[in-house]
Chain A
Amino acid sequence: MNFPSKLIEEAVQELSKFPGVGKKSALRMVLYLLKKDTETADKLGHSIIRLRNEITYCTRCYNVSDAAVCNICSNPKRDNQVICVVEDLKDVMAIENTNQFFGTYHVLGGLINPIYGIGPDQLQLESLIERIQKEGTKEIIMALSATMEGDTTIFYLSKKLKDLDVQLSTISKGIAIGDELEYADEITLGRSILSRVPYRNQVQSGSND
């Protein structure tokens, strides 16, 4: 792509580094900013600079936080005895949106994947173990992706936790609500039959109860 201006070229270069953003989308963003008044660009620029410089992580759960301890950890209504282990911030937000979980979180910051150069040391695993020992946690809920890397991470943690008096559970894997059985893939269907649960009469779409 040829640009009439070095400034535009530079901005496009930087913006196209975002995941899912190509050169064309980046150019569209640049042109949009040029059309708007300078204040729009100033605001955007400042928010990005502040975002990177001022962001902190909760010292307890390693979730993104504005203070030393995050909102969830400092909320007295949350159950401190239950920790939900997730990969990143996106997962915390997803689980919070369900309104079904009232414990606290622990954000690992990734999953074990040696090929991508991610070993247990790069993740918040050691801090989780220390936290469990310190806080006397009762239950750990592993809410990780149902992938090989997720599985490896759960397996690893289960080995590390086997001598501690803490219950380890994983979120259930199976048929999504509203899905028809015939369209489920074989592995999921097979797994959900193996890990079937006793029937309890409950409203299926129960996120507002």
Chain B
Amino acid sequence: MHLRRLKLQNFKNHTFVEFDLCQQVNCLTGLNGIGKTNVLDAIYYLSFTKSFFNSQDQYALQHGASWFTIDAELESAAGSNTLKLIYQTGQKKQLLIDQNEVERFADYIGTVPLIMILPGDIQLIHETAEARRKLIDSVIASCNKKYLANLMAYNKYLDQRNKLLRDFANGITYDESLLSIYNQRLHEYGQLVFEVRKQVLEAIQSNFHSHYKDISGAKELAQLVYVSDLHEMDMQTWLAQQSFTDRQAQRTTKGIHKDDFLFLLDDFAIKKYGSQGQQKSFVIALKLALYDYLQAQKGVQPLLLLDDIFEKLDAQRLRLLIQRISQQAFGQIFITDTHQQRVADAFASLPHVQVKYFEIAAFKPTLDR
């Protein structure tokens, strides 16, 4: 699976830009602020129907514009399809496959599986559990529609239960049987989500080790640990046991919405003990392992987007990473960098890899409209 052509109009700083892409490595070069990452974000849009950086579409509009479009040609085993994403101010965002509008975006997610690696990834280590859950969930949702539906149902029931707990605190009569209904549903959906998260974490573990070893060239043992209340006892039991605490707190204090993924290096939290280099290697290895998982589940090679990766890794780690991704295990790759020569050098020893370079032209100031 790969994109053959990509065209952006009024998308962020690009008034009009078109790319004739190659099947393997596509390298976007240009000065800082020229909009390289914006091109990657446009590809992300085609995969997830939203921006990686901002969930509000209007921020992807070029200044002064009232609409943007992203067009692409997708080649897959099923043949060739055109994809078109249209956003107009004040209107519903539309996604068209071969001119046919996609009615539910949730059904579409996963059509263009994608993994993006970017400098900000290191924040995953330092941010709250929510960011880590979001990453894992987005990957699972790309290949497991039921998971997404179950997770959404869980969240809706969770909102209802929390509102109910607040209502009880605000003087509405305590209603044991209504609460028990939400408990029951949270148990059912929560358990399903828990099982899948557990399986996925087990499934990616060994690839994760090997990616980390390859990229870091070191011997430390890198581990991902799934932390969940549900390891101890099931959701139903928690909710029954926490009933009093939950009413005090006016929210649900235990459950899969509190899940976390611990990043460990030789049994120590990488957050506290890992060096910058180790942390970078760790998150890259995690994303590559998720890539492998997605590929195994979908049976196709997802797109791999590498943003500014050359800036963030030292020469040796970089060489190892390039070696890794240029093996046949990866499909179409997009790389951004400020220096074309640096990318060319990195691929010099790999003549079998097809690399196409796109120099993004100087920033054109937009006319006031």
Contacts and interface: CB of A to CB of B under 8 A. Distances in A.
B160 A159 contact: no
A108 B180 CA distance: 21
24 contacts: A113-B160, A114-B160, A114-B161, A114-B167, A115-B159, A115-B160, A115-B163, A119-B172, A119-B178, A120-B178, A148-B153, A148-B156, A148-B157, A152-B160, A152-B178, A152-B181, A152-B182, A152-B185, A155-B181, A155-B185, A156-B181, A159-B180, A159-B181, A186-B145
Interface in B123-150: 145, 149
Contacts of A160: 177
A200 B140 CA distance: 42
B173 interface: yes
B175 interface: yes
Interface string A151-174: 010011001100000000000000
Given A115-B159, A148-B157, A186-B145, A156 B178 contact: yes
B156 A119 contact: no
Interface centre among B145, B157, B173, B181 (most CB of A within 10 A): B181
B239 to A, nearest CB: 15
B184 interface: yes
Contacts of A159: 177, 180-181
A116 to B, nearest CB: 9
Contacts of A114: 160-161, 163-164, 167
Nearest to B182: A152
Given A119-B164, A152-B178, A152-B182, 15 more contacts: A112-B178, A113-B160, A114-B160, A114-B164, A115-B163, A119-B172, A120-B175, A121-B172, A152-B181, A152-B185, A155-B185, A156-B177, A156-B178, A156-B181, A159-B181
Interface of B: 145, 149, 153, 156-157, 159-161, 163-164, 167, 172-173, 175, 177-178, 180-182, 184-185
A193 to B, nearest CB: 15
Contacts of A113: 160
A177 interface: no
A118 to B, nearest CB: 10
Interface in A123-160: 148, 152, 155-156, 159-160
Given A114-B167, A159-B180, A119 B160 contact: no
Contacts of A1: none
A194 interface: no
A100 to B, nearest CB: 30
A119 B175 CA distance: 9
A172 to B, nearest CB: 21
The 10 closest A-B pairs by CB, nearest first: A114-B163, A114-B164, A159-B177, A155-B181, A115-B163, A114-B160, A156-B181, A152-B181, A148-B156, A156-B178
A203 interface: no
B356 to A, nearest CB: 39
A198 to B, nearest CB: 28
A7 interface: no
Contacts of B181: 152, 155-156, 159
A187 interface: yes
A152 B177 CA distance: 11
A119 B160 CA distance: 11
A141 B6 CA distance: 55
Given A114-B167, A159-B181, A186-B145, A121 B173 contact: yes
Contacts of B173: 121
A1 B281 CA distance: 58
Contacts of B178: 112, 119-120, 152, 156
Contacts of A152: 160, 178, 181-182, 185
Contacts of B157: 148
Contacts of A121: 172-173
Nearest to A116: B163
Contacts of B185: 152, 155
A119 B177 contact: no
